[in-house]
Amino acid sequence: MSSPLKHLAARVLRPAAGLVGRISDPLRRVWAHARLASRIHGEVPDSVVILGVPEIHGTGKITLGEDLYLYRELYLETRDEGSIEIGADVVLSRGVHVASFAGVTIGAGAMIGEYASIRDASHRRVPGQAIRHSGHDSAPIKIGRNAWIGRAVIVLPGVTIGDGAVVGANAVVSHDVAEGALVAGVPARPIERRNAA
């Protein structure tokens, strides 16, 4: 299609595209809400905004708080005794992965950046056995209230991230993070906050 013809078609179709969006977006959200509710053991509060159906694996032991904002491409997995508990007002950005064999708790008001990975289990290494069949070692993860986890952060088993802590993008969190601390890097370490001049 030539550029002038393409431009004309876009101008003509713009009102129809807007109308279709206004009708289809709410229907997609209602469908995502219903699909999520059918896959987990807990309730999905009406105040939860779901932009795309999360991928759910395992037992479905998932508890959701009020007023969540759930972006597309989420992956939530619970196995064994694991559960995922998400407090009120949490934002899970696009592509976040949460996998629990022991327990993952995300406190109210926390924000989790795009493509973050929060996994409370690691594969065991058993000589002569394929990693896939060697089982897992797990330890609970706790993310505090109003914590901010940056894009592509990895949170490893057994970590507690304190209330109001900030984890910089692409960090690997292998140790506890104190309340209100700012950490970054691989492995994540505290960094000094500088006051604006």
Cβ neighbour number for residue 85 with a 10 Å cutoff: 17
Q: Would residue 32 count as lying in a domain?
A: yes
Bridge partners for 63 per DSSP: 85
Q: Would residue 197 count as lying in a domain?
A: no
Structure tokens at 64: 């959701």
Q: Would residue 11 count as lying in a domain?
A: yes
pLDDT of residue 7: 67
Closest by Cα among 103, 95, 194 to 154:
95
pTM (two decimals): 0.85
Closest by Cα among 146, 154, 58 to 102:
58
pLDDT tens for the chain, residues 1 to 197: 567 777 676 676 676 665 555 666 777 788 888 889 999 998 999 999 999 889 999 999 999 999 999 999 999 999 999 999 999 999 999 999 999 999 999 999 999 999 999 999 999 888 888 888 888 899 999 999 999 999 999 999 999 999 999 999 999 999 999 999 999 999 999 987 655 54
Q: Would residue 78 count as lying in a domain?
A: yes
pLDDT of residue 9: 66
Bridge partners for 64 per DSSP: 86
Range of the domain at 172: 3-190
Q: Would residue 72 count as lying in a domain?
A: yes
Bridge partners for 56 per DSSP: 76
Structural domains in the chain (count): 1
Q: Would residue 174 count as lying in a domain?
A: yes
Cβ neighbour number for residue 194 with a 10 Å cutoff: 6
6 three-state secondary structure: helix
Question: Is 136 one of the annotated active-site residues of the chain?
Answer: no
pLDDT of residue 27: 78
Query: What is the rounded CA–CA span in Å between residue 85 and residue 161?
Result: 15
Residue 179: CATH number of its domain? 2.160.10.10
pLDDT of residue 151: 98
Q: Would residue 43 count as lying in a domain?
A: yes
Residue the block writes with tokens 């991928």: 55
Closest by Cα among 107, 112, 102 to 54:
112
Which of 123, 133, 136, 175 does the annotation list as catalytic? 123
Q: Would residue 196 count as lying in a domain?
A: no
